[in-house]
């Protein structure tokens, strides 16, 4: 009897994990689609471009090394370089040499980039509030915040930095 109950419990855990995983993936995809639509409509930028502008907006003096920006957005250096080029063409960021390392490049948000971010932010927050937070009570929100923080921290430990990924390829 005990053996059967343990096997059943393991199957229940596996089913709950599968359900949680697919719900997480689907919810993330649906929310991202809503955000993509809003950001295109309000600021003519993609979700990733918004995220890059947000990181730069929050950074000291509005600047970050490209490798740090890649790590904070969990994006490949080549993909980030492409997106940074698009943002630079639009006048939303500038790329400049790092003052302390000739090999490093800094991304710097421009005034136009700050204006674009400010224009997109209210609609973005509204989409996130309507699509995510309004579905939760305070207890659920606390549980979600704690769970996602733990998951993010674990995944950060498991995911190599952009510099480490580059060294591994070389």
Band (9; pLDDT cuts 50, 70, 90): low
pLDDT tens-digit profile of 93-102? 999 999 888 7
> Under DSSP, is residue 92 helix (H, G, I), strand (E, B) or coil?
coil
Q: Which residues contact 47 (CB under 8 A, 6 or more apart)?
A: 32, 35, 36, 39
pLDDT tens-digit profile of 12-57? 888 999 999 999 999 999 999 999 999 999 999 999 999 999 999 9
Band (80; pLDDT cuts 50, 70, 90): confident
Angle at 116 (CA atoms; ends 115, 122), nearest 5 degrees: 95
Query: Which pTM was predicted?
Result: 0.79
Band (162; pLDDT cuts 50, 70, 90): low
- What pLDDT is recorded for position 150? 95
- What pLDDT is recorded for position 165? 54
Q: Residue 11 pLDDT > 90, yes or no?
A: no
Q: Which residues contact 38 (CB under 8 A, 6 or more apart)?
A: 120, 123, 124, 126, 127
* Domains, the chain, with CATH or none: 43-135 (1.10.10.10)
Q: Which residues contact 54 (CB under 8 A, 6 or more apart)?
A: 117
CB 69 within 8 A of CB 52: yes
Q: Which residues contact 72 (CB under 8 A, 6 or more apart)?
A: 55, 64
> Under DSSP, is residue 30 helix (H, G, I), strand (E, B) or coil?
helix
Q: Residue 131 pLDDT > 80, yes or no?
A: yes
Share of residues in the chain with pLDDT > 70 (%):
86
Q: Residue 104 pLDDT > 80, yes or no?
A: yes
- The first and second tokens of residue 45, run together, are 């930028």
DSSP 112-165: HHHHHHHHHHHHHHHHHHHHTGGG--HHHHHHHHHHHHHHHHHHHHHSPPHHHH
């Amino acid at each position: 009897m005990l053996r059967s109950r343990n096997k059943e419990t393991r199957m229940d855990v596996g089913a709950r994990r599968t359900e949680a995983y697919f719900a997480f993936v689907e919810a993330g995809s649906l929310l991202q689609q809503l955000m993509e639509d809003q950001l295109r409509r309000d600021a003519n930028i993609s979700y990733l471009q918004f995220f890059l502008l947000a990181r730069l907006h929050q950074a000291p003096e509005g600047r970050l090394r490209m490798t740090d920006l890649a790590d904070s957005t969990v994006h490949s250096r080549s993909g980030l370089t492409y997106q940074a080029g698009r943002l630079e063409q639009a006048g939303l960021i500038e790329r400049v040499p790092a003052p302390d390392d000739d090999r490093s490049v800094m991304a710097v948000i421009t005034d136009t980039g700050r204006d674009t971010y400010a224009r997109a932010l209210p609609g973005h927050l509204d989409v996130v509030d309507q699509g995510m937070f309004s579905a939760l009570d305070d207890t659920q929100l606390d549980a979600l915040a704690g769970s996602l923080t733990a998951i993010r921290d674990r995944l950060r430990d498991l995911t190599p930095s952009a510099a480490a990924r580059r060294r591994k390829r070389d």
